[in-house]
Structure 1
Amino acid sequence: MLAEIKGLNEECGVFAIWGHEKAAEVTYYGLHALQHRGQEGAGIVTSDKEMLHLHKGNGLINDVFQQNEFSRLKGSAAVGHARYATQGGGGYENVQPLLFRSQKGSMALAHNGNLVNAYALKHQLEAQGSILQTTSDTEVLAHLIKRSGHLEMDEAISQALSMIKGAYAFTILTENQLFVALDPRGLRPLSLGKLGNAYVISSETCAFDITGATYLREIKPGELLIIDDNGLTSRQFASPLKRTLCSMEYVYFSRPDSNLDGVNVHASRKKMGKELFKEAPVEADVVTGVPDSSISAAIGYSEASGIPYELGLIKNRYVGRTFIQPSQELREQGVKMKLSAVRGIVEGKRVVMVDDSIVRGTTSKRIVRLLKEAGAKEVHVRIASPPIENPCYYGIDTSTKGELIASNNTIESIRELIQADSLAYLSADGLEHSIVDQPDTLEHGVCQACFTGNYPTEIYPETLNPANKA
């Protein structure tokens, strides 16, 4: 999908490695594989066992890192981050990893997710004398850790993690250890791998393929990993709960070659397309998907229906994902630049246009118009997820219901607004069964709060930043 997701503001990508002589370079390639998760900024911190070294900046990874930077990023351990701003907004000071230095040692934090009680915790910390240097919720954890300075680092981290609520995948690097933590619900993706004798951590398994690492397993909900020269130690800082990995990771955010919680993203998207045809068949001549994340679902719809799949829409590869752009004006311009309809494919045809989601509706309207201007006789829109009616507080930061077209309109009125000949969405049950074959019998499930309003954790609207309230 092109741009509707700007209303969903995807979180970030984290990558870390311990025990590799080219730690900074491997992390650079890992971040390249995760570039789709954030294009506003990137950074790497390395450890040479005596000191932490930082380089970060705004922009794409290629723009932030030049060859001469790596000579300064010394050490065999690193954490890296590709950023899209959710809580805290833009600005260099919010680009991660965040590095904190003290007389007792330094630490660097990289975070994927969103803390639902960050605003309240910041208020408490400031009342106790803390001076916050950023507007990011990630900084909260650093202050909570340092408040327990008499404890061993793993104990201090565990205690701090017990105070935060929401979705988080943290990597924390000190001079001598790497710590990795996932929230008790496992809302964000995070995996463990090995590259030779080195341990590797990544938001998505696609980064293992790029760097040559071998996948070992998922990080467990409520798990804290401690990695150092003695090896890897695992402990539970919180009792694990039924995993509710964000369903939008499967629908849109993750790369199709990634496996999340043991499920291949491309395969799950194809199932969504097949389920979508079962629930919303239509007579048509061709099926096309909106590049890139909707292609898999469109193939599934085509296979289930017998209607041929065609490249009815072509993407300009030199334009970035429009949801990443920081303003509505730039998003709309990005949509105009990004897609072209293939007249020779759609002219005179009844077209099924498969997309992964609709947030505001402006992009869908533009794509329908593109197809009809290219001569499509009919355009039937099929969405491979349910209507997004509720804000997300876990890192895909829809701020108000007013921004969500499905929270204020019926499906028929949305159809009229986007000027489609028909419109149908995949059901919540159809989506879950496309990801988890037996959701009622397995320990693993998905979060569908943005669709259903059923949040897997308690939400504290009175403690959220007023600027982000629903």
Structure 2
Amino acid sequence: MCGIVGVVSDAPVNQLIYDALLLLQHRGQDAAGIVTQQDRKFFMHKAKGMVRDVFRTRNMRSLPGDCGLGQVRYPTAGNAYSEEEAQPFYVNAPFGIVLVHNGNLTNAKALKRELFSTDHRHINTESDSEVLLNVLAHEIERCTRGLPLTPSDLFQAVRSVHRRVKGSYAVIASIAGHGLLAFRDPYGIRPLCIGRGVNNTVMLASESVVLEGTLHTMERDVAPGEAVFVDLKGQVHTEQCAESPKRNPCIFEYVYLARPDSVLDGISVYQARLNLGETLAKRVISTVPPKDIDVVIPIPESSRPSAMQLAQLLGLPYREGFVKNRYVGRTFIMPGQGTRKKSVRQKLNAIGSEFKGRNVLLVDDSIVRGTTSKEIVQMARDAGARKVYLASAAPPVRYPNVYGIDMPTKDELVAHGRTVEEVRELIGCDALIYQDVDGMKRAIGAAADTTGLGDLPIGGFDASCFDGVYVTGDITSDDIQRINEGRHAATNEQEEDTSRLALPNAQTA
């Protein structure tokens, strides 16, 4: 889960890219980087930390040029603690290429061996993004063979990338002296869109909110499998480069990851969350009679639209019962789960008057580990709630995610191998209501406006963390085990606090 942006303009782009990364901060808080291009020379600054901390005035002044790209990173593979794995990544041949990537390659280890033994390329980090960059560079070199670079050469190279690379990837690459190349994987798992602004500016970004927030007009989503080349004059060249593209966006983008004011692949994230609240209301009625509920309270922040819609349909009061401290950052050294609970209380506080003597229905967007949910339920009881019901706008998370979301291993997932009743007992609530998988897909699909999606309307969703169906069709249990071994967060006594309450939320980023 990362956020990427690329810009070609007739004016300097450093400030524009910085502003765009601030709008993408909810997609990654571990590291940030910007590279600009001027007179075939790249200028780069990247480091661990939030955008506002990584880039100071002196850094911005050292980023000249009218073409550039940037990334905010939340690592899902490789070494989360390494400065070297902050993006963008750079190779000097052919031409000089800098790349940013959102997603996760499922065959990165095999590609790394292939790059060394066959392509004679060296990979210096554990990042799959560096692997992807070298595959792209090798294929561009094969297509050009010393000749001047043309858009058709780039599109041929992307076709070869699609054949070699497995997994999810939304990519933007800057090619020295030529412009920006962007493409999505053939399933469109990770989002990418394109828009235009003043000064002949063309912008590509992970979410539409970036275009709107920087006063650009969104033109469309980049289609799954499509490649887009923007030359340094702002002329846009496009071509479909996948043999059998399908539009199967990650459903967790709509459940939690994306900002509510974004539209991804024709689906309004906010409307999707309203719809989830509507279908969840029907599930609540079948479990807890509305007369037994005094108030509906969201767990900040992404669950608010679902909670509001649910409360309205059930005719129940909606109240803000928790206040999130937006100024508490991540806790970097956590001595075990006991301190994890303490960190939740540092980041969330209950308003006692909204709980005392009441039967409360808490609404969350999803439940992953369950440790945060358990602590929040106890907070509600400590604040005086008579009964605490918990409803999740998403189904049980039972399977690992392999496409770029920092999802725990299956043994860490509270719903894996447990019934709903067993999860309820572990969390400690009086009733636990989950969304069902088909209801979630229908609710989010109903928020789609398919006009403008061309020949590839929504064909389905990647909902693998809920239903165990991996849309790329190449994932085995051995693959999941291998990917789990590469997860950046080790579950030991030095574990970072990766609960969602530890991160700036989409609505407050």
TM over 0.5: yes
Residue aligning to 1:143:
134
1:143 is aligned with what amino acid?
A: N
1:177 pairs, out of 162, 179, 195, with 179
Match among 188, 202, 205 for residue 202 of structure 1: 205
Deviations 1:350-373 (A, max 9, x none): 101000111111100000000110
Give yes or no for the alignment of 1:302 onto 2:294.
no
Give the Å deviation of 1:463: 5.6
2-structure distance, mates of 1:421, 1:131: 56
Partner of 2:58: 68
Q: CA deviation at 1:445?
A: 2.4
Residue 33 (structure 1) aligns with: 23
Provide structure 1 residue ranges, at least 5 long, that are not aligned to the other structure: 1-10
Instruction: Give the equivalent residue in structure 2 for 1:453.
Output: 468
Specify the alignment match of 2:97 in structure 1. Answer: 107
Aligned equivalents of 2:377, 2:79: Cα separation in 1: 32
Equivalent position of 1:466 in the other structure: 482
Q: What does 1:42-61 align with in structure 2 at a 5 Å threshold?
A: 42-61=32-51
Q: How big is the shift at 1:297?
A: 1.0
Counterpart of 1:406 in 2: which secondary structure?
A: coil
User: Within 2, Cα distance between the matches of 1:384 and 1:325?
Assistant: 31
Distance 1:114 1:399 in 2: 15
Letter in 2 for 1:401: K
Measured against aligned partners, the alpha-carbon deviations of 1:388-418 in whole angstroms (never above 9, x if no partner) come to 1111110014352111111121100111111
Instruction: Give the alignment's TM-score, normalised by structure 1.
Output: 0.92
Aligned: 1:219 with 2:222: yes
Tell me if structure 2 keeps the 8 A contact 1:119–1:465. Answer: no
Aligned to 1:278: 282
Q: Tell me by how many angstroms 1:71 deviates.
A: 1.7
The structural deviation recorded for 1:380 is: 0.6
Q: Does the 8 Å contact 1:48/1:74 carry over to 2?
A: yes
Question: Cα 1:101–1:331, aligned 2, differ >3 Å: closer, same or farther?
Answer: farther
Distance 1:206 1:334, change over 3 A: farther
Q: Does 1:162 align with 2:163?
A: yes
Q: Aligned to 1:368, which of 377, 393, 408?
A: 377
Residue 21 (str. 1) matches residue 27 (str. 2): no
Partner of 1:417: helix, strand, or coil? Answer: helix
Take 1:262 and 1:326, find their aligned partners in 2: how far apart are those partners?
Answer: 40
**Preserved contact between residue 319 and residue 334 of structure 1 (Cα < 8 Å):** no
- The CA deviation string for residues 169-223 of structure 1, in whole angstroms up to 9 with x for no partner, is 0001012210010011100111111112211111111111221111110110000
State the alpha-carbon separation in 1 of the partners of residues 216 and 447 from structure 2: 30
C-alpha distance in 1 between matches for 2:69 and 2:334: 25
- Please give the TM-score of this superposition, normalised by the length of structure 2: 0.86
Kindly indicate whether residue 240 of structure 2 is the aligned counterpart of residue 236 of structure 1. Answer: yes
CA offset digits 1:127-184 (Å, max 9, x no partner): 3343211110011122223333241350334322321011110001012210010011
Question: Given that residues 267 and 447 in structure 2 are in contact (C-alpha distance below 8 angstroms), is that contact kept between their aligned partners in structure 1?
Answer: no
Paired residue secondary structure (2:70): strand
Give the Å deviation of 1:455: 1.2
Q: Secondary structure at the match of 1:44?
A: strand
Taking only the aligned residue pairs, the percentage that are identical comes to 37
Instruction: Give the conservation status (yes or no) of the 8 Å contact 2:196–2:217.
Output: yes
Contact (CA 8 Å) 1:286, 1:350: kept in 2 or not?
Answer: yes
Gaps of 5+ in 2: 145-152, 451-456, 487-509
- Quote how far apart the aligned CAs of 1:230 are: 5.7
Q: CA deviation at 1:48?
A: 1.1
Q: CA RMSD in A?
A: 2.1
Q: Residue 394 in 1 paired to residue 403 in 2?
A: yes
User: Shift of the alpha carbon at 1:275?
Assistant: 0.6
Give 1:357's aligned residue.
366
- Call closer, same or farther: CA 1:469–1:70 in 2, change over 3 Å: closer
